[in-house]
Structure 1
Amino acid sequence: MRKFAWIFMAAMTVAGFSACSNSDDDVLPGMDGGNGGGGTTTPSVVITDTIYQFNNINDNYIPINDLCPGWTHEIVSPIGDDRSWQSAKFTSDQTGITEKYIKVTSYDSSNENAGKSYDLWMISPALNVKDAANKVFSFYSEYAFWAETASLEVYVLNEPKSTASSKEKLDVKIANPENSPLVDNAKEKYKGWVASGDISLEGKGDVVYIGFRYQGEGGTSATTYCIDDFAFGRAQVEHYLGESGGDTPEPTPDVDWSKAMSVADALAAAENEIISVKGYIVGCIKNKPSDTSFASFAEAQAAGDIEWAGAAEFTGTSQVFIADDPNETDGTKCILIRLNDNDVARDLRNQAQLAGNPDRIGMVIYAQGSRWKHYSLPAVTKLSAYKVGE
């Protein structure tokens, strides 16, 4: 088994990554309003074979939609509450192993949310059932602090929202006091993981979504539910026990970079949209620029803070500009790729930063991340995957 050292978030296989803003994208099967269809727009992430083991989790409390591109979190009630399906790390008193997974709860030790009723959804990326070789999905569940006032349900949806026009509740195996493995150590809060088994999606639609719905009453008595090892297009795998020193599972195939958009399209993408972009490295912002909130590229360039091809020296390390033209020097046709805001970005920095590496001008890179801003300029941040070279 290979060590899981690649940079792809949550071991995600993307069979057809495309951006909604790209009008040239083909309409995917089932997305044209027909069987299983949810409209006429192409989802940002579509998968045919994947397993999410959430090994990219470094911190607690990261909402699922910020952690994994294509996943959706929805708070139906209470309005204005900020609880979410979110990342979690737990080190077992019994084994010393640290596990990483997604959890949700209405439990509050302070009882400050007593009287509130929670209805929280976590919805998978689009699952391309039509083209999947194995039309099944599976997951592992676990619980803590059992209470009859909370429940977990699983649905197949034709749209990534709780109000989907087609919504079917599935009869699946979920952790409960009767089926969960016993834990010998009395200090343990969490019970053992329970496998759902392979759940068929035959006849459910060409492209579907899986919705996990948590309902619970706030207060000091509420069940916490955990989800891990979500798989689609393959038989259920053995639960991965986390950072135990052994080999991790094989990574699944890479992002389909053939769907990467141009820089021009990336510049037109909506803020916060998860995108995949291809471009040539054409420059960077110098180390310790005169300002960290430029009003425009023109202002940054006038201040001497941009280092283009031909610069006497490159000092920038935290980002690079990419463009569709390897000789581009018009900043309005460039987008920044941030290289220092998470582990994936820092990994790319080792291969793309221009400081000390002037020969990287003109090098092709691909990046997947959130369309946002850096130094107030258009940027791709919080990278989840990258590729260097054609």
Structure 2
Amino acid sequence: MSDKENSLRLHKGRGATSNITGRFASHSSILENDGWQTEPEPLERLPTEAIEEKAKSIIATNQSPDIPFTQSINPYRGCEHGCIYCYARPAHSYMDLSPGLDFESKIFFKPNAADLLKKALRRPNYQCSPIALGANTDPYQPLERGKEITRALLQVMQQFAQPVTIVTKSQLILRDLPILAEMAQDNLAQVAVSVTTLDKALKRKLEPRTAEPATRLRTIEQLCKAGVPTAVLAAPIIPALNDCELESILKAGRDAGAERAAYILLRLPHEVAPLFREWLSVHYPQRAKHVMSLVQQSRGGQDYQSDFSQRRTGSGVFAQLLRQRFIVTIKKLGLNHRRLSLNCSLFQPPPQAGEQQSLF
């Protein structure tokens, strides 16, 4: 193991192996081994710091042609799940924090999110369209258990008949199953559960504080039994690491009740690329070059390309074969045979105290 690899310190329950400098920082530093330390430093526990953020607005909009929603809400910045591949990590650089360990240990929460949402939905010029809850970070990460910000947002959406989509890795979503089930009766809610791997050992390295694969499949099953349309999301697909599981993940999701499925090829924007390379050097040193070679073959010779046409699925031979495998498998399993669209016609701000209600 090289001096650089020796300098990387594993923190129990964390995905990143370092606190690399964000791209906007004026200074950077690199930890190097001076030769005196011959044994790796012991594992450390890195506590989570919850930081209150008083947001001024809550609904983010986008016009990206490859994203199936135009509105989204993120109750949290940063994510304690610690997924090493998370494309949201670079956002911590805007706050002069590291996209590495800071991203998964310094979590910003928005206690006024529900009040801001009420105000936004009552604006006269608001045009109803589905809101994606937790588009960047998981709305049901561990901090949500105590903060209940996602739950408060769902309660507001239910009051307004505002359609919502959710992507999560957490069984904590089942806490809000009564709300989601009622909304689903009016076609106001859809969920996608991300299943990255069925291998528990790989899961613990890739996404240390997420639910076990079997737990996620049970979550899909319970959501589907309650009438909530739920998809299985095989993401991210990492070449030479979990791509061999694509068919198995899709079948397991289908067997749990999912009617729809999707996949996303590994994305490594900005600081995610060096973080992922560090992670590979620690956990899969013998496979690291092969993994990154296939990644670059699928990204035009680079670690990442941001073009809308290929950032989710990639290009090149590996990406084309992956796409064909997905198409063949969903056809075989009977997935994606019908298109589901949420109902925006029921949207109606509830009356406020003192308001005159219509008689008709």
| TMscore range, shorter length | under 0.3
- Structure with the higher fraction of residues in strand conformation: 1
- Structure with the higher fraction of residues in helix conformation: 2
Which of 1 and 2 has greater Rg?
1
TM-score using structure 2 length = 0.22
